[in-house]
Every structure is written in C-alpha cells, then in structure tokens.
A and B are shown apart, each in its own frame.
Chain A
Amino acid sequence: MKQTAIEDRAQAQMQPGVITRDGMLGSDTRRLVDILVEDEAAVRRLGTTHLAIARRMRQLRRAGAGGLGNSIPVGDNFDVIVDGVRGRMPCPYEDGTVSKTNTRVTNRRLEREILFTDLHIHMIERHGFYMGRGSLYRLEPADVVAILEIEPEPAPPLT
C-alpha cells in the first residue's frame, strides 16, 4: 500500500544510525504503513486500543518515578524501576522530543518483565507504532497487554 510522505520520512528516520543505533525496524522489511496496520489489528483483537496501552504505560511510569532510579513496588503485583539520562530523543515523525527515560516493569505473578522508554509511550500513543519485528526493542502488543495486565475495553464503533 502506498504510504504518505510523512510516513516515508518517518521510516527513513527509523533506520539504524539516524536516531538510534540499531534503528527501530529491526529486521522488518515491510513498509511502515503495513507494520502499523497489522499491529493495529492485533491490538483490536486483544480487545483494547493504542491509547489504553499508552495510558497504562504512563500510569506505571508515573508510579515508578517515585523510586528515583531504584525499584519501587506499585500495586500488589508490580516492581517498577524508572531511570534516565541527559538529553531528549526526537520522534521519527518529527512531532516532538521525549526525555530519555526507561521504565522497567516486573510482573511478580507472571514472573515476566518488560522494558519500555518514553519514546515507546509517545509512539504507541500518537502513531500506534510498536517497533519493527526483529528489533530488540519491539513490544509485541500481546506481551504488553499480558505483562501490564491491561483490561480489555470495548473498542469505539467503526464510524
């Protein structure tokens, strides 16, 4: 499917060495728009939305920030570590910068852990982008929903 000029530019900025070391697309050879469409379908099948996922990530990040770089329990099931370094990271869609903050969430019951950055939150919230397949930093929507225990919510009607 043909993608817009904005997506072309964003995809160019997701290449290795432009904003991040290994890029944001991993070994994925698909076009950006195809990656987005498939992940959107996956998210809808999981019974939730990009906004709900981003909202939960932000919630855990906010709760974990009180640990000031050290692990802090959140709720009765999560351990969260939030830390960061100097500088800001530009979003490949050229719509803003985010701080370089990493959030590591451990789900004690499932004994699973997930690491995400402020850039992940921004890109999921604004663009529905979870990184390309094969990238070390890819967040599979299924994993995110499971580990962060995101409740399904009724999807808005396809108006």
Chain B
Amino acid sequence: MLADILTNFPVREFLLSVGVLCGISLFLAIVMVIADATINYYGKVKLRINKDRELEVEGGRTLLTTLKDEGIFIPSACGGRGSCGLCKCKISAGAGEPLVTELPWLTAEERRDGVRLSCQVKVKNDIEMEIPEGLFSVKQFAAEVVGLRNLTYDIKEVRLKLLEPAAMEYKAGQFIQIEVPEYELTDEPVYRAYSMSSEPADKNIVEVEVRLVPNGICSTYVHQHLKLGQKMTINGPHGDFGLREGAGEMICIAGGSGMAPIKSILLDMLRTGNQRPARYFFGARARRDLFLLDEMRQLEEKMPNFKFIPALSHPEPDDNWQGETGLITEVVARHVAAAADKQAYLCGSPLMIDACIKVLTEKGMPTDQIFYDKF
C-alpha cells in the first residue's frame, strides 16, 4: 500500500501546489510589509511643548514613550496601560478625542481643557502641548547600590551612587522615581516614588528610605532581593516640597517613611549654615519604630537651634521611655504655644497632614505658612 503511494506519487501536482502556495504567501507577505511601511508609518512629526520647545520625533508610538525617548519623563506608575492616571498633559491640538480608556481619569473641566493621558495618545500628527516646566529638569539616571541599611524592621535605607549622568541637581525635599527591576510584564517600565533623604550638596549620591508595603511591587523587591552593587534606573528630581524663605521657627512633623524629606532639608540647612530655629516632631508607636536617633542627636549638637522631639504613643514597658508620650498632634499642641510667626513642614498621609494642619491653625499659624508633601 505504501509502495503504491510512493510510486504513484503525483510529484508534479505536489510541487505545483507547494509552489503556488508559497507564491501566494510570499506575495501577501510583501503586500503586508508595504502596508506596514506606508499605513503604519506616520513619518516625522513636530511636538511643540509649552510654546517654545520644538521636538521632531518619529510618529507611531504613544506620547509617553516618545517623550521618554527624548529625555522628558512624564510620571507614570502603571507601565503605560492607562491604569494610574498619573501621565496627564494638556494638549491643544493634534491628538483627536480622548479614548474610552482615558475618560474615567478626566474631570469635566480637564476634558474641556484638553487634558489627556499621554500613555493613550498615539503620535500621528503635529502636536501642540503643555507640561509643567519642572518636568524638563527630570532626567533618567543609571545608578548603583552602594549602601543598604535596615533602619527598622520595615524601613530600609538605600544609598545609590549615580553613574550616568553622575550628578543630579535637586532641592532638599524632592523625590525620585525608581524603575521597578522586574517589569517585563508591561509595555512600559513601572515606577515607584520615594523621597530623597540625602543632602543635595552631595550631587553624586541619592539616598531613599523604602518602607515595606504588603504585596508592594518595589518595596518587597528592595527588602528581599536588592543587593550591594546592583544597578538601578531612576529618574528625578520630582516634587515641589522644600525649604521656603522665612525667619520664623520651623515646625517639622513627620514619622515613618515621611522622615526622608525632612532629614534632607535638615542636612541641607547644616551644610549651608542656616541658623534658623527648628523643631522636628517625630511620632512613632514604640521604641522599635524609632530610627536614625543618633543622626538626629548629632544634628542637634551641630545645629544649636535645632531640637529633635520623638514621641511614642504606646511605649512598651521595657522600652524605658523617658521622652514624650501620646499622639503626635497632642505633643505638638503641648509644645507649641503660639504659631502665628512660625512655618510648618509636614510629610505623610493626607489624613495625618489634615490632622496636623488643624492643630497648627488652632495655634494661630497662617495656612499659607504650612507646607506639606502629601503621600
């Protein structure tokens, strides 16, 4: 039977069939390539940003990616999938109507103003757009981990040396975005934001305090897998929290991972010889939640006008705690009599900040002298 098939094999028909199939497939493949090069090719387009910067870029990709390749980093936390709403920008021309995926993130007013999610806008035509000027100073850095230290059971201090570029110009109180090392599941990198606790004068070093978040995509990695010498990609600086002009006493309130920007501001004041009186109220639960006590004591010695006031709300019996006790808002209320001539620097969750603002305004502090970094 098999021999029959082999001897009577219709070679000519077989070769002809295969040939025709290959021919048709080849033809279609060529058509597809031409189509891709013409229909999908958007050519070069111009992006006009803030009316005075013009970029000529390749069309066809999202605005977020296109700008990232031009060195402009719009914040994003979801890898360009349209699920975080952080990548907003104002577009006055060239981007069509918002996509269905963008609408949940835009208020009616934003829609009227032409605000769009840059990760959902495809660059096809010349675009006229606006972004905050601060974003232009945001750069991407290749960095290396040169220090890892456990500050408490759930906060890790990470010290990064900047490799390329080797220096970041920033103000004390700003934050960076760290690219999560294992993001291969999304199209764009996923970022997480952390305040810098290092002093700006040390342009080559960036230090952050990472608190372990349950199921956190970056914090778990940092606490369990990050090693000395490992390379990381970061971008920054972001944010507008920092020291403001003034002569009045500074009342700083922050606990846990909110300490980072305050520490940065204090170190900067030491470096610049700023003698302004300042008090830093640090709220924690028990002694094991306190950290960087030595560093704070050293700052107190070097800056005679600075006082560090930790307060525990639930000290354990064997903590032997002699310091302040109670909720941080109560401690502040006890220590600050009149605040009309003072300035406040707050860093923490919106709830905490609102509670502090309430106490401070009750003591007479004008609201325009209260500066905060809301999580």
Direct contact between A and B in the complex (CB less than 8 angstroms)? yes
B92 lies within 8 A of chain A by Cβ: no
Interface of chain B, main secondary structure: loop
CA distance A90 to B195 in the complex (A): 20
Query: A19, B375: Cβ atoms under 8 Å?
Result: no
Does A42 lie at the interface of the complex (its beta carbon under 8 Å from any beta carbon of B)? no
B136 at the interface (CB under 8 A from A): no
Provide the residues of chain B in CB contact with A20, threshold 8 Å: 215-217
Q: Check B351 for interface membership: any CB of A closer than 8 A.
A: yes
Beta-carbon contact of B213 and A19 below 8 Å: no
Chain A, 72-95, CB within 8 A of any chain B CB: 72, 81-88, 90-92, 94-95
Q: How far is the CA of A109 from the CA of B59 in the complex (A)?
A: 63
Kindly count the residue-residue contacts between A and B in the assembled complex, taking CB atoms under 8 Å apart.
121
Q: Is there an interface contact between A68 and B217, defined as CB atoms closer than 8 Å? A: no
Contact B314–A99 (Cβ < 8 Å): no
Q: Which stretch (A10-18, A27-35, A45-53, A145-153) binds chain B?
A: A10-18
Closest to B312 in A: A70
Cβ-defined partner of B77 (8 Å) among A66, A88, A117, A136: A88
Whether, in the assembled complex, A154 has its beta carbon less than 8 Å from a beta carbon of chain B, the answer is: no
B372 an interface residue at 8 Å Cβ cutoff? no
B305 at the A/B interface (Cβ < 8 Å)? no
With a cutoff of 8 Å between Cβ atoms, the chain A residues found around residue B284 in the complex are 69-70
B23 close to A (CB within 8 Å) = no
Size of B's binding interface in residues, CB under 8 A: 48
B213 to chain A, nearest CB (A): 6
Q: What A residues does B195 contact at CB under 8 A? A: 86
Q: Does B256 contact A (CB under 8 A)?
A: yes
Q: Of the candidates A17, A68, A84, which one forms a contact with B329 in the assembled complex, judged by CB atoms under 8 Å apart?
A: A68
Q: Are A68 and B375 in contact (CB under 8 A)?
A: no
Query: Given A67-B327, A94-B83, are A84 and B349 also a contact pair (CB < 8 Å)?
Result: yes
CB distance from B311 to the nearest CB of A (A): 9
Q: Are A69 and B314 in contact (CB under 8 A)?
A: no
A→B interface (CB under 8 Å): 13, 15, 17-22, 65-72, 81-88, 90-92, 94-97, 99-102, 115, 117, 136-137
Q: Could you jot down 16 A-B contacts, CB within 8 Å?
A: A13-B81, A18-B185, A19-B217, A20-B216, A65-B349, A66-B355, A67-B327, A70-B328, A72-B327, A84-B349, A85-B219, A86-B175, A86-B257, A87-B77, A88-B86, A136-B214
